[in-house]
Amino acid sequence: MSEYYDFNKMEYIGNQKGLKAGDGFHYYNPGELIQGKKMSEWLKFSVAYWHTMDQRLVDPFGDGTAQRPWDKFEDPMEQALAKVDYMFEFLDKMNVEYFAFHDRDLAPEGKTLRETNANLDKVVDKIVEKMQETGKKVLWNTSSLFTNPRFVAGGATAPFADIVAYSAAQIKHSLEIAKRVNSMNYVFWGGREGYESLLNTDMKLEQEHIAKFFHMAKDYANEIGYTGQFLLEPKPKEPTSHQYDTDAATTIAFLKTYGLEKDFKLNLEGNHAYLAGHTYEHEVRVARDAGLLGSLDANMGDKLIGWDIDEFPNDIYEATLVMYEMLKNGGLATGGLNFDAKPRRQSFTMEDLFLAHTAGMDTYAAGLRVAAKLLEDRVFDSVIEDRYSSFKSGIGADFENDKVTFKELEDYVIDKPQSELIAATKSGHLEQLKSTLNNYIFTVLGK
């Protein structure tokens, strides 16, 4: 492989004092076994093409600041093809097995969809070659039904039939690509699938349209023999003020309402959880409880900024609790940890891209280590077991086993004095638990 970047391949160096971030991985040791499985298998890290290759580091107030070696290619197709080489070299140097992309990340649009597909196919040809050469894999691909002005009012939920038709044709081609590159999953993030105001929106019709659209997508995948897992990615707002796939719970209700729950799981993003007013671990728990945890867009938000800033994860508490849910789920099956993340606008060098990925990988690897120990020691399990123990016998067991009616529950409590009821409650000991969590983080990572 040709050398595009002046960086050594990232290897595990441990966490001895004095080692600078970026010298290597301090916590991510791909071959090390955690609960009987290699870290690289628990943590199927993925690089996001749209950020790492395409993101110019713009914000709503300023132009891009990114400095990239591929900027030297002026012809858009030439640049698109060159970026494939840079991408694969990046994956190799970062020690990452997977990547993810939207159709429009890869190649410029032409004058018609036919021309656009031809541009895209040229780049996909090269990607397929590179994949065969290197063994790198696609965690998921998706279609951008939100960047081009034709999607001003949505793609599958657009109030214009021509745009819905175009969206279907675009997804059809993306599914063909998914089959070619053998994508583990196919993601639908409802870019502009939502609304700004009910004054001009038929919400029910739009939701029926997108449900029909998803059924058609699945039918087409079956027809061409694409067997990757379909994923929906919830987000509450931005760009529209009411995104239909608001959060995990809303998205699960949507899937069940329209009979799609057998065909879809969820791809959950950290920053989207914040925007929905939830923690990341809450979203992952909701999906896990429903048996619909698919994959993770591992990024984080900022408590002080109200938009999707896609920061690389560095919050060890969040990573620990999310990895805890992941371990409880027995892993992510076809899913992984996709860095839907970009460096900050002031971190504009190529070196920052490497450092940012290293930080994200180490944060989740550290979280995995702590979570595994918390599970092994049954820290939360034993607390939770004890907290609900009154359902193991007496009236609690009767309630659990459907042996009591409302009337019998009333009989049981009607004459109980307040003091007995208060005595039936127990402290939640939350301060102690949080401090135990701190201790686990310090001791497991301090080793």
Encoded tokens for 206: 């739009």
Nearest CB to ligand XLS, comparing residues 68 and 235: 235
Residue 265 interaction partner, one of Ni ion, ligand XLS, none, beta carbon < 5-8 Å per kind: none
> CA-CA distance, 366 to 447, in Å (whole number)?
12
List binders of Ni ion among 298-337 (CB under 5 A).
308
Residue 309: CB minimum distance to ligand XLS, A: 10
339, 357 Cβ separation under 8 angstroms: yes
List binders of Ni ion among 234-273 (CB under 5 A).
269
> CA-CA distance, 318 to 205, in Å (whole number)?
38
> CA-CA distance, 286 to 435, in Å (whole number)?
25
Nearest CB to Ni ion, comparing residues 308 and 352: 308
Nearest CB to ligand XLS, comparing residues 10 and 187: 187
Q: Has 269 been labeled as part of a binding site?
A: yes
Residue 103 interaction partner, one of ligand XLS, Ni ion, none, beta carbon < 5-8 Å per kind: none
Residue 225: CB minimum distance to Ni ion, A: 27
Q: What's the angle, vertex CA 170, arms to CA 164 and CA 173, rounded to 5?
A: 145
Residue 105 touching Ni ion (CB under 5 A): no
Q: Which residues contact 9 (CB under 8 A, 6 or more apart)?
A: 92, 93, 95
Other CB atoms within 10 A of residue 329 CB: 17
From 97, 245, 281, 297, residue interacting with Ni ion (rule: CB under 5 A): 297
Catalytic hit among 54, 103, 105, 352: 105
Residue 215: CB minimum distance to ligand XLS, A: 21
Q: Has 272 been labeled as part of a binding site?
A: yes
**Residue 410 C-alpha from the chain's centroid:** 46
Q: Has 310 been labeled as part of a binding site?
A: yes
Is 23 marked active-site? Answer: no
Residue 362 touching Ni ion (CB under 5 A): no
Residue 340 touching Ni ion (CB under 5 A): yes
Residue (of 132, 124, 129) closest to 102 by Cα position: 124
Is 173 marked active-site? Answer: no
296, 322 Cβ separation under 8 angstroms: yes
Nearest CB to ligand XLS, comparing residues 193 and 297: 297
List binders of Ni ion among 123-152 (CB under 5 A).
none
Q: Has 297 been labeled as part of a binding site?
A: yes
Q: Has 308 been labeled as part of a binding site?
A: yes
365, 294 Cβ separation under 8 angstroms: no
Residue 338: is it exposed, middle or buried by C-beta count within 10 angstroms (0-12/13-18/19+)? Answer: buried
Q: Has 315 been labeled as part of a binding site?
A: no
Catalytic hit among 51, 102, 209, 282: 102
> CA-CA distance, 426 to 388, in Å (whole number)?
10
Residue 91: CB minimum distance to ligand XLS, A: 18
Pairing of strands 242-243, 194-195: antiparallel
Other CB atoms within 10 A of residue 425 CB: 8
Nearest CB to Ni ion, comparing residues 89 and 245: 245
Residue 313: CB minimum distance to Ni ion, A: 13
Residue 98: CB minimum distance to ligand XLS, A: 14
Nearest CB to Ni ion, comparing residues 281 and 297: 297
* CA dihedral for 286, 310, 314, 229, sign (positive or negative): positive
Q: Which residues contact 230 (CB under 8 A, 6 or more apart)?
A: 185, 186, 188, 214, 217, 218, 221, 263, 264, 265
Nearest CB to ligand XLS, comparing residues 364 and 440: 364
- What does the DSSP assignment read for 32-56? -EETTEEHHHH--EEEEHHHHTT--
Residue 440: CB minimum distance to ligand XLS, A: 30
Residue 318: is it exposed, middle or buried by C-beta count within 10 angstroms (0-12/13-18/19+)? Answer: buried
> Which residues are near ligand XLS by CB under 6 A?
102, 142, 187, 189, 233, 235, 269, 297, 308, 340
Residue 142 interaction partner, one of Ni ion, ligand XLS, none, beta carbon < 5-8 Å per kind: ligand XLS
Which residues are documented as binding site?
Answer: 233, 269, 272, 297, 308, 310, 340
Q: What are the residues binding Ni ion (CB under 5 A)?
A: 269, 297, 308, 340
Return the active site residues: 102, 105
Which residues are documented as binding site for Mg(2+)?
Answer: 233, 269, 272, 297, 308, 310, 340
